[in-house]
Amino acid sequence: MEAEAFSYAKCSRFAAHARMNDNQEVATVFQATADVDRCEHFEKEFSLAEWIGTDLENLGAALHEKSRQIEMYARFQEEALSDGDTNAAHLFEFIRADELRQLDVLTASVQKLGCEVKGSLTTIS
C-alpha cells in the first residue's frame, strides 16, 4: 500500500510539472498512472487490510498517526539543525505546525462525538 500511495503522489507531481511545461500528453500519462495507483491498486489493498472501523476508531487511528508524525518532524528538525541545514529545518518546522493544526481538528471531531482525547487514544467521556 505504501508503494501505491507514494507512486500516486509522485506521478501526480510529475503530471503537474508536465502541465506547467505545457506538455499535456506526458501529463495525461502521468495522471492516468497516478489515478490507477490510487483508485484501483491502493483502494483494493486498503480494503484487504480491513482498517476501516467506526468513526471514533478511525479518528483514534488518525490521532495516533498525527502524533507520530509530529514527533517525527520534531526529530527531523533537530537533526537538520545539528547538520546545519536550516532550509530543511524550516521545512520540517512548517510541516510539523501543519500536523499540529490537523491534530487540533481531529481532536475537535472526537469531542463533537462526546468523547475526550487522552494522549493519542480516544475514550468515551
Domain ranges of the chain: 2-49, 55-124
CB 27 within 8 A of CB 15: yes
What is d(CA 39, CA 47) in angstroms, rounded to the nearest whole number?
12
Q: What is the pLDDT of residues 29-78, one digit of tens each?
A: 999 999 999 888 888 888 888 788 899 989 998 999 999 999 999 999 99
- Distinct helix (H) and strand (E) counts, the chain: 5, 2
How does residue 124 score in pLDDT terms, banded at 50, 70 and 90?
A: very low
Helix (H) or strand (E) holding 1: none
Share of the chain above pLDDT 70, in %: 94
pLDDT for the residue numbered 49: 82
> pLDDT: is 5 or 123 the higher one?
5
CB of 42 within 8 A of CB of 8? yes
pTM of the model: 0.75
Block residue for cell numbers 511545461? 21
